[in-house]
A and B are shown apart, each in its own frame.
Chain A
Amino acid sequence: MEKSKSIITVVGKDQVGIIGRVCTYLYQMNVNIEDISQTIVSGYFNMMMIVDTSAAKKEFLAISQELEELGKEIGVQIKLQREDIFKSMQRI
């Protein structure tokens, strides 16, 4: 992969095991987690991970798709996005 840093966001109702299941999947894919933060916005659980996908076992788009499906299974929304979009919009 040419670009490494990406952002995973998980939004939904808080429940046991969300982080565990996402982290297990990332471990299986050999994606390194560099930072995790979380907050509650209007009653919803919001988690953000900064991850490095450069050594990942699958293509970016495949991981993105599988995370989305994992989200549906757990009942939360999971998104994988390249970090650039946030840097571009939020930094001068």
Chain B
Amino acid sequence: MININEVIETNNMIEKEKLDVRTITLGISLLDCISDDMDTLCANIYRRITTTAKDLVKVGKEIEREYAVPIVNKRISVTPIGLIGASACKTTADYVRIAKTLDEAAHEVGVNFLGGFSAIPAKGMTKSEELLIRSIPEALACTENVCSSVNLGSTKTGINMDAVKLMGEIIKETAKLTADRDSLGCAKLVVLCNAPDDNPFMAGAFLGVTEADNVINVGVSGPGVINHAIQGVKGKPFGELCDTIKKTAFKVTRLGQLVAQEASRRLGVPYGIVDLSLAPTPAVGDSIAEILESMGLEKVGCPGTTAALALLNDQVKKGGIMASSYVGGLSGAFIPVSEDHGMIDSARCGCLTLEKLEAMTCVCSVGLDMIAIPGKTTASTISGIIADEMAIGMINQKTTAVRIIPVEGKDVGETAEFGGLLGSGPIMKVNEYSCEGFISRGGRIPAPVHSFKN
């Protein structure tokens, strides 16, 4: 029988250590919406989303109430629109129209983000995918809740450098079109290498073609819970530190699994995976940087940071895997800068640099995330940053990503404000030596030798 101390511990995690379920993401396949007529396509998409997801927010709130645990976001991911629009879309304006349809559907069902305005040109880019990519700046400027992602490479395919070059330009253009909001459009746009098909987290969520018609994926969180537990083993050897993180990650993941199963049962939609990511928010006590600092670092970004993050990421996975048989998505520690007050502090005082963040992405679950850089940064330099990050993912057989915001009209020392969960962050310095000659070569970087496993 459950005892009072266990009840107190769980409720303390929720009330004092900010344990929450970060997102219930309903994946909706739009493959059956495809038409060669724009009107029909948009009507199909709108109907499919608004009927499938009509109870998502209501069910999320019910679960929240019955278990007294916050479920921060209810979201939707859809099949990459680059596939869905291939037959009907002849211009970038057609793709923008689909983005608006997605936005309207998201508003109608009450979700705060809808991901999947995406293309997956990991090896080659179809004409329609190129059209979609070229429509991204306008699409993100005129919609509120739509998120966009582009998968530029994988360990199996290598890196599509033509697409990398193009995305440098697209990110610049997106920043320009949302210049009045500190280039907020770029916060809803991410490029990835080895993008997972079942990621519930934005901005990279889309429902891959390997998935069924509908699926529930749940993303947990809980940096504050891990941090609190680590503070109890101050000065103790690594073995004890690892055990503590694993046990805590187990509990956090179990909560995610329970919520996923309940949402699945009530919505009549199969449960896919739990993503056991540690996702920070700008609130104090909900920070990955605080965890790393509790391990014994003076400030995140100092020597030892990469090792501490590697340990954290691995123990979170080990604890989580024991708790749920279906773990997927990104699953690990996120290190977004603007969404984590500890990261912001460290970037502001100069301890955390872009180069150190790049090293950290070799061992964290994703990549360069929510980093504001000077608006004057050139497209080719952005492509260079992306290429480096894609190379790390390709060689290390992991997901990597870049969500970088070249804030129009702002430079190092100034602050970008994105608001809400997206937070705010100092503009970070970028190495200004040119990589233009490298980026403009064209073609693709071949898949690495260790991908040939057949």
Contact = CB atoms under 8 A, between A and B. Distances in A.
Interface of A: 7, 9, 11, 35, 37-39, 41, 46, 48, 50, 60-61, 64, 79-90
B169 to A, nearest CB: 47
B65 A61 contact: yes
B69 interface: yes
B8 A87 contact: no
A88 B2 contact: no
B8 A84 contact: no
A48 B67 contact: no
A79 B11 contact: yes
Contacts, number: 62
B51 interface: no
B65 A89 contact: no
B39 interface: no
A56 B70 CA distance: 25
Contacts of A80: 68
30 contacts: A9-B8, A9-B11, A11-B11, A35-B1, A37-B3, A39-B8, A41-B8, A46-B8, A48-B4, A48-B7, A61-B62, A61-B65, A61-B66, A64-B65, A64-B66, A80-B68, A82-B67, A84-B67, A85-B10, A85-B69, A85-B255, A85-B258, A86-B6, A86-B10, A87-B2, A88-B254, A89-B10, A90-B2, A90-B9, A90-B10
A47 to B, nearest CB: 8
B59 to A, nearest CB: 12
B68 A81 contact: yes
A79 B258 contact: no
A90 B8 CA distance: 11
B315 interface: no
B255 A38 contact: no
B4 A38 contact: yes
Given A48-B7, A87-B2, 14 more contacts: A11-B11, A37-B4, A38-B4, A39-B4, A39-B5, A39-B8, A61-B65, A79-B68, A84-B258, A85-B258, A86-B7, A88-B258, A89-B255, A90-B6
Contacts of A50: 1-2
Contacts of B10: 85-86, 89-90
6 closest A-B pairs by CB: A90-B6, A88-B258, A88-B254, A89-B251, A48-B4, A85-B67
Contacts of A48: 4, 7
A30 B379 CA distance: 68
B65 A7 contact: no
Given A79-B68, A81-B67, A7 B7 contact: yes
A36 to B, nearest CB: 10
A61 B65 CA distance: 7
A92 to B, nearest CB: 8
B8 A89 contact: no
Interface in B6-33: 6-11
A80 B67 CA distance: 8
Nearest to B258: A88
Contacts of B294: none
B259 to A, nearest CB: 9
B281 interface: no
B149 interface: no
B257 interface: yes
Contacts of B1: 35, 50
Nearest to B6: A90
A39 B254 CA distance: 26
Contacts of A35: 1
B11 A90 contact: no
